[in-house]
Amino acid sequence: MMLRRPSRRHFLRASLGALALPLLDSLRADAASATPPKRIVLLYTPNGTNPDAWFPTPGASSTDFTLNSIHQPLAAYKDKLILLKGVNNAVGQDPDNNGGPHQRGIGGLFTGQMLGEGTFQDGCGSKAGWAAGRSIDQEVALLIGQDTLLASLELGVRCMDNDVQGRISYSGAGEPLPPINEPITTYERLFFRDTPAAPSDTLRAESIMAAVGDQFKALRPRLGQEDRVKLDEHLALVEDLERRMGLGQSDGGCAVPLPPPSDIDADSELTMPDISRMQLDLLAVAFACDLTRVASVQYSTGFNRIPYPWLDSPEEGHSLSHSGDSNTEAWAHLAARQQWHAQELAYLMDRLAAIPEGDGSVLDSTLILWGNEVAKGNTHSLDNIPYLMAGSAGGALATGQFLDLGGISNSRLLLTILKAYGFAGETFGHPDYADGGVIPGLLL
């Protein structure tokens, strides 16, 4: 992960300590002409979906559709969604590609590239190495990540496998970027980058809010009404995060140690919902403060040995996804899990929508691309990958649509998204599957 030299918009960090501020127009000399920066988030969930509960019911036009059960948590944002059918992971189907379907699927999901040779083994004995090219988040980071302290931020929720099935983001061929699974490590990365991080079991951190509270009180009268609201919401979010992560000061004024790892175990099925919300909240803070404009959020891996006990779904996800089509109970569990992921996406969108920016919110400048390494777990199909887009990347994309694209390569989808961020190339991904140009009807 690359660190960038602070730009002028970050000058307040130097005077107000470690806590990053949201972008406050009242304190920007160029506020009148400022255009909100674009942002992108890649979102991954594993092992396919329940197609009968995923794809919308089409109407008379692309803008006339009815959301299916999985996406009901996103109903309030229907006009900000783009749901796609008929997008194939074509490079993953190439007979000369290495590895098994889960490996090839996740490797090409956001890169459009084949896998190299390697020793990573899937459940069928196939072997592969890392993907052979950059993922679109890192391509976007080259375009819009140069002025932020972090070029990108890779977050995980129970992504513990150091394997090709456990990576979605690549800075280049054979260069995967591991996700951060522990919220406290994410917190340290965002707020304590200038000093070496101590081991999480011994780190003692004073509450940032306590350290800079007086300075914020002095700053507040200088702000306009909109920026006061933005600042108050930002501080409330950070205070809540500190409370949930055990940061703060004791009655005697001494720093309170972070809870031991067992108190908030990032690899526990019991804490997974809490870990998810903390990571999403930290991502919202990072975007609000313009610490980064590029991120990924990865839930589990292609191995996906995870039960979801808070949904009364105790079976490991990978085996559950291999259930036969006649096992209606298993497919209901899979739909419920995907609906939970849609709920987490809605939560992130709520957080971003609550951050004022320009004439709208941070959500208006953001695109979130949700993808999966296979279409359906029990067939390992790489046809009809369930991609969903949320947000317009600052008005660059025509949202509120359900499009059946008839079987195009996902490289064309990735290229179309890159064009929304100013990408100058005419193709993206493996050259054998990159022809056809951008997808009609998506770019404005």
Is residue 293 within 8 A of residue 144, CB to CB? The reply is yes
295, part of any domain = yes
CA 365 vs. chain centroid, Å, equals 15
- The DSSP bridge partners found for residue 84 are 403
Between 210 and 107, the more confident residue is 107
Least confident of 219-233, 291-305, 323-337: 219-233
Residue 321 has which token pair? 């996804």
Between 114 and 232, the more confident residue is 114
Q: What is the structure's pLDDT at 358?
A: 84
Non-local CB neighbours of 144 within 8 Å, separated by 6+ positions: 37, 38, 39, 293, 294, 421, 422
Mean pLDDT of 147-165: 94
Q: Distance between CA 276 and CA 208 in Å, rounded?
A: 22
**pTM for the whole structure:** 0.86
The amino acid occupying position 83 is: L
Is residue 274 within 8 A of residue 347, CB to CB? The reply is no
32, part of any domain = no
β-strands 39-44, 366-371 pairing = parallel
Is residue 30 scored above 70 in pLDDT?
Answer: no
Render pLDDT for 253-264 as a digit per residue (tens, 0 to 9). 323 333 333 357
Is residue 113 scored above 60 in pLDDT?
Answer: yes
Is the alpha carbon torsion for 89, 300, 419, 403 positive or negative? positive
444, part of any domain = no
Alpha-helix residue ranges (DSSP H) falling in 145-271 = 183-191, 208-219, 225-244
Mean pLDDT of 98-102: 96
Which pLDDT band holds residue 229 (cuts at 50, 70, 90)?
confident
Which pLDDT band holds residue 250 (cuts at 50, 70, 90)?
very low
Residue 160 has which token pair? 């513990």
Q: What is the structure's pLDDT at 227?
A: 75
- Provide the residue range defining the domain that includes 289: 8-22+40-327+343-433
Between 66 and 208, the more confident residue is 66
Residue 44 has which token pair? 């991954």
The domain tally of the chain equals: 1
Q: What is the mean pLDDT of the chain?
A: 85
Half-sphere exposure of 248 (CA within 13 A, CB side): 12
Least confident of 41-50, 149-158, 191-200, 326-335: 191-200
**Gyration radius of the chain over CA positions:** 22
Q: How many C-beta neighbours within 10 Å does residue 218 have? A: 9
Is residue 265 scored above 60 in pLDDT?
Answer: yes
Which pLDDT band holds residue 19 (cuts at 50, 70, 90)?
low
349, part of any domain = yes
64, part of any domain = yes
Which pLDDT band holds residue 214 (cuts at 50, 70, 90)?
low
Q: Distance between CA 364 and CA 179 in Å, rounded?
A: 25
Residue 85 has which token pair? 């059918």
Phi-psi domain of 88 (left: phi exceeds 0; alpha: psi -120 through 50; beta: other): beta
Q: What is the structure's pLDDT at 216?
A: 64
Q: Distance between CA 288 and CA 362 in Å, rounded?
A: 7
Residue positions counted in the chain: 444
Q: Distance between CA 274 and CA 158 in Å, rounded?
A: 12
Q: Distance between CA 431 and CA 426 in Å, rounded?
A: 11
As a whole-number percent, the residues of the chain with pLDDT over 70 amount to 81
277, part of any domain = yes
The candidate with the shortest Cα–Cα distance to 396, out of 444, 338, 337, is: 444
Using DSSP, state whether 346 is helix, strand or coil.
helix
28, part of any domain = no
52, part of any domain = yes
